[in-house]
Structure 1
Amino acid sequence: MRLLLTNDDGINAKGIYALAKELEKEHEVIIVAPDKERSACGHSITLTRPLIVKDTNLIGLKSKAFSVDGTPADCVKIAINKLIDNKIDMVVSGINKGLNLGTDVLYSGTVSAAIEATIYKIPAIAISMEIQQNAKSDETYEIAAKYAREILLKAKENNLANDIVLNVNIPMLKEDEIKGIKVCKIGSRLYSNTYIESNGENNETQYKIKGVVEDIHEEDSDTIYLKDGYVTVTPLHYDLTNFKILKDVCEWF
């Protein structure tokens, strides 16, 4: 398969390196990723200035790589429209440094890059891994890369539809501690946000957001299965229509 790899942690992130190292063993891999971290940028794209694209040599990888001074969605758009001439079979976004569970998918640049691919009718997988704060081994992505390869194979064998994203989250456990894979719905994550106030150089008021997450462990959701030691897989689609109340709202008018 010809795979496009991207992320929101930047082209030099360890996660995308581990992912490329694993997938290029069996597939043709092209990397198009942001030149620096663009976490939590959502599905934004760059309209007000030109994008700068650079050939990048990632030591130890045979895959061709480009850096883009834009968002993850920018990377997918320019890869499809300009940088890659031949058909892309699938887009894989990640491995993200940190989870994208529940409602985090709305903010995630990793997930948004995958969704951008499906807008172009290319199936996609978003891969994220749990990171424990202050852990010395917090960036060991080899186990997550193995699961990415396994899920990619299953997606290919079962002809994953070209408008679907598989959102994958991997717990930070030893390989023999992971219980398996659960396909499930997204759960809910709430943040107790605090804004830290400070003064800038020109005496302007600055606010930096800090948040503590609280997972709502709904039955059969990604938040509860990951907590229980499973890799979670959730099919996503960019159509946000709430079909449950569509007819009801029609009656309003």
Structure 2
Amino acid sequence: MRILITNDDGVNAKGIYFLTKELEAHHECIVVAPDKQRSAAGHSITLHRPITVKKVKLEGIKSMVYSVDGKPADCVKVAIEKLLNEKVDLIISGINNGYNLGTDVLYSGTVSAAVEGAIYKIPSIAVSVDFDADEEYLKRAAKISKEIAERSFNNLKDDVVLNVNIPKDETKKGIRVCILGNRVYKNAYIEEETDNEYERRFQLAGTVMDNDDENSDVFYIKKGYITVTPLHYDLTNFNIIAQVNSWLTEEESK
């Protein structure tokens, strides 16, 4: 396969290094990633200035590597539009430092980069692990990522993203294909002192409040399973289209 690799932690992150190291041993790869940390960038793109793309060298990596002074979605767009001589078969975004579970996917630059690939009709996978993963954990996650990619590729539709989360110890549990859970944060902003009486300063922090619904990624990751959730960028709530239509058009029919 020809694989485009990206992330939101930056081109020098350990996760992208071990993912690329594993994949390039078996497949043709190109790396296009942000020049620095871009976590929680969501699906934002750079509009009001040019973005700069640089060819860089990652020690121990033989694949072509580019850094982009933009967001994760920028990386995928510029790779597809300008850097790739041939269409890639698959996009893999990661390995992200920190799980992307439940509603986290709405903020995640890692997941958004994969979704951008799906918008271009390229099958895509986002991969995340727990925070502060050591080398052995990342190497294992990279091997699992490769296996999931190879097992899914022939069946994965070109507008679908697989959101994959790999726990620290999954060796005895295996994979659960599941829905997104509900993850919210309590007391999300901590106020800090400031010398200016006309301003207030807040640091995003807080405590995770998970709703552990069975069959959700939040539930299964805590049980030690690898979680895989198929995502799609169409956010339409098809279940209530007729209902909303009745609210807004019933007066017109009278």
Tell me the TM-score range normalised by the shorter chain: over 0.9
One-letter amino acid of the structure 2 residue matched with residue 127 of structure 1: V
Paired residue secondary structure (2:159): coil
Corresponding position of 2:86:
86
CA distances 1:183-202 after superposition (whole Å, capped 9, x unpaired): 00010101011332232789
Aligned-pair CA distance for 1:204: 4.3
Corresponding position of 2:185:
191
Tell me, yes or no, if the aligned pair for 1:97 and 1:139 is still in contact at 8 Å: no
Tell me, yes or no, if the aligned pair for 2:189 and 2:202 is still in contact at 8 Å: no
- Relative to the length of structure 2, the TM-score reads 0.93
1:119 and 2:115 are equivalent in the alignment: no
Pairing partner for 1:251 from 231, 246, 254: 246
CA distances 1:10-56 after superposition (whole Å, capped 9, x unpaired): 00000000000000011000000000000001000000100011001
Corresponding position of 1:171:
167
Percent sequence identity over matched residues? 57
Tell me, yes or no, if the aligned pair for 1:15 and 1:139 is still in contact at 8 Å: no
Matched residues in 2 for 1:163 and 1:44: separation? 19
Matched residues in 2 for 1:128 and 1:198: separation? 34
Corresponding position of 1:29:
29
Pairing partner for 2:212 from 201, 217, 221: 217
Tell me, yes or no, if the aligned pair for 1:200 and 1:206 is still in contact at 8 Å: no
Corresponding position of 2:251:
none
- Relative to the length of structure 1, the TM-score reads 0.93
Number of aligned pairs? 247
1:105 and 2:100 are equivalent in the alignment: no
1:180 and 2:174 are equivalent in the alignment: yes
- Cα gap change, 1:197/1:162 in structure 2, threshold over 3 Å: closer, same or farther? same
Structure 2 unmatched ranges of 5 or more = 249-254
Aligned-pair CA distance for 1:140: 3.6
One-letter amino acid of the structure 2 residue matched with residue 217 of structure 1: D
Matched residues in 2 for 1:216 and 1:143: separation? 28
1:57 and 2:57 are equivalent in the alignment: yes
Aligned-pair CA distance for 1:139: 7.8
Aligned-pair CA distance for 1:119: 0.4
What is the root-mean-square deviation in Å for CA atoms of aligned residues? 1.7
Divergent runs of 4+, >4 A: 200-204
Matched residues in 2 for 1:245 and 1:145: separation? 40
